[in-house]
Amino acid sequence: MTNKEAALVLADGTVFEGEAIGVAVPDGISTGEVVFNTVMTGYQEVMTDPSYAGQIITFTYPHIGNYGVNDVDYESRRAFCRGIIVRDPARRTSNHRATGDLSDFLEAQGLAGIGGLDTRRLTRHIRDLGAMPGAFGTADEAALLAAAKAEPGTDGIDLVATVTCDEPYTVDSDGPRRIVAMDFGIKTSILNQLRELGSVEVVPAQTTADEILAREPDGVFLSNGPGDPEPLTHIRDTIGSLLGEVPIFGICLGHQLLSATLGADTYKLPFGHHGGNHPVQRLRDGLVEITSQNHNYAVSEDSLVDAELTHINLNDGTVQGIRSTTAPAFSVQYHPEAGPGPHDSRYLFADFEQLMEDFHATS
C-alpha cells in the first residue's frame, strides 16, 4: 500500500481527505455510488458480492484487513464494486486461514481504495443526506468533483447485465432436487445452501421462461443482484411466465423482482441497508431474526398485489418478505445464507424444499 495523498469528493461537493491504497487507476479517479456497510467481519465476502456493482463501499468498522484474505471466501469470480473506503487498513495480517493481505487482494482485483479517511463523518453524512455519487483518487479536487457530478449512480441502470454469467453451469449435488437458479449476481454462499437440496443449474439473467421450464426443474431460484429493479422488465416478464408453473424462491433483488411481477412497486431507500445485524420479524409467529442485508431498493407495502406480507424490518418497518397468494412463490429481502453472518434465517431454504415437495405431490 502507498501513502500517496488522496481525496474523496461527493457529488454535493463535500471533501474527505485520506491516502491512496490498492491499484493506481488511470487519471487517478474512481467513481461510483458511495454507500456504507456496518459489518465487523466478512470484508472479503462484502467486496466480492456482485450486489455492489456500481458502488464504492465504505466500511464503518475502522480496522479492515487484520485477518487477511484467502482463496475460499470469495462470493463470486471477482470483485464488482468500484472501490473501498476504510479508516485504518491493516498493515499486518494474522490468521491461520490467510493466503494474502488486503493489499494483495486489491492489487489482484484491480481495485483502488482510500484509507485513513474519517469514515464516521462520511457515514453520518450519507445517513443524513442519502447515498450519492462520489469520486476518489489522487487527482485534484476539481477533477474529482467533476467526475462525481458526472457519475450516474445506480438509478435506472441495468447492472445485472454486468455481473450475470455468460453461459449456464451446474453445481452438482447428491440431493434429490433439480433447481434452476437465475443469476442476477448470485453469491457462492447461496449456491452452497441450494446444493444441499439438489443439483443447481445456474443460468444467465436473460434466459427465457421456456428455456428454464425445458430443464424440468423442481424449483426456480431468483438470486440477489445489484442496482435498480425498475429497468429489468425482461426479467419480470420471465418470472411472470414461470409463476404457477414451478415453485419460486427469491432473495434480495430476486425478492424485489418477484414482488414487482406480482404488481408491487419498488422505491429507493435513502442510504440502503448494508450490514449484518438487522432485526427482522417473522409475522406468522412473531419470531425476530438477526439478518444480513445489502440493498438500496425496497418493496412498497401499500402496493402489494396478489401477495401477503411475511416479514418486516424492525428498524424502519420496510418489507422484508412476501408470499404469493396466487402461486407457489415466496421471497425475502435479506440474506439467509449470510456467509459469514447470522444463521437465524437458514430455515428459508427448508421452506423452499417443502414448497417444492408440496407442489410436486399435488401436480
And the C-alpha cell for 25? 487507476
Average pLDDT, rounded, for the chain: 97
Confidence of residue 362 (pLDDT cuts 50, 70, 90): confident
Alpha helices, H only, 175-214: 188-194, 209-213
- 149-201 tens-digit pLDDT: 999 999 999 999 999 999 999 999 988 999 999 999 999 999 999 999 999 99
Name, in order, each residue with C-beta under 8 angstroms of 276's C-beta and a sequence gap of 6 or more: 38, 39, 40, 42, 291, 292, 293, 338, 341, 342
pLDDT of res. 328: 98
- 277-330 tens-digit pLDDT: 999 999 999 999 999 999 999 999 999 999 999 999 999 999 999 999 999 999
Domain ranges in the chain are 5-150, 160-362
Confidence of residue 218 (pLDDT cuts 50, 70, 90): very high
And the C-alpha cell for 298? 425496497
Query: Cell match 405431490: residue?
Result: 361
Confidence of residue 9 (pLDDT cuts 50, 70, 90): very high
pLDDT at 2 over 50: no
Confidence of residue 340 (pLDDT cuts 50, 70, 90): confident
Confidence of residue 1 (pLDDT cuts 50, 70, 90): very low
pLDDT at 246 over 90: yes
Q: Does the domain at residues 5-150 carry the CATH identifier 3.50.30.20?
A: yes
Are the C-beta atoms of residues 112 and 30 closer than 8 Å to each other? yes
Are the C-beta atoms of residues 112 and 106 closer than 8 Å to each other? yes
Mean pLDDT of 73-82: 97
Instruction: Pick the more confident residue, 216 or 338.
Output: 216
- 108-117 tens-digit pLDDT: 999 999 999 9
Query: Cell match 463501499: residue?
Result: 57
> H or E element: which one contains 238?
helix 233-242
pTM, rounded to two decimals:
0.96
Q: What percent of the chain has pLDDT over 70?
A: 99
Mean pLDDT of 18-28: 95
Q: Which CATH superfamily is domain 160-362 in?
A: Class I glutamine amidotransferase (GATase) domain (3.40.50.880)
HSE (side-chain half, CA atoms, 13 Å) at 191: 22
Torsion of CA 105, 111, 117, 118, to 10 degrees: -90
Active site residues: 252, 335, 337
HSE (side-chain half, CA atoms, 13 Å) at 268: 14
pLDDT at 102 over 60: yes
Return d(Cα 126, Cα 188) in angstroms, integer. 29
Query: Bridge partners of 5?
Result: 19
Mean pLDDT of 85-109: 96
DSSP for 117-176 reads: --HHHHHHHHHHH--EEEEEESS-HHHHHHHHHH---STT---GGGTS-SS-EEE--SSS
Q: Which of 323, 348, 322 is nearest to 335 (CA)?
A: 348
pLDDT of res. 254: 98
Confidence of residue 338 (pLDDT cuts 50, 70, 90): confident
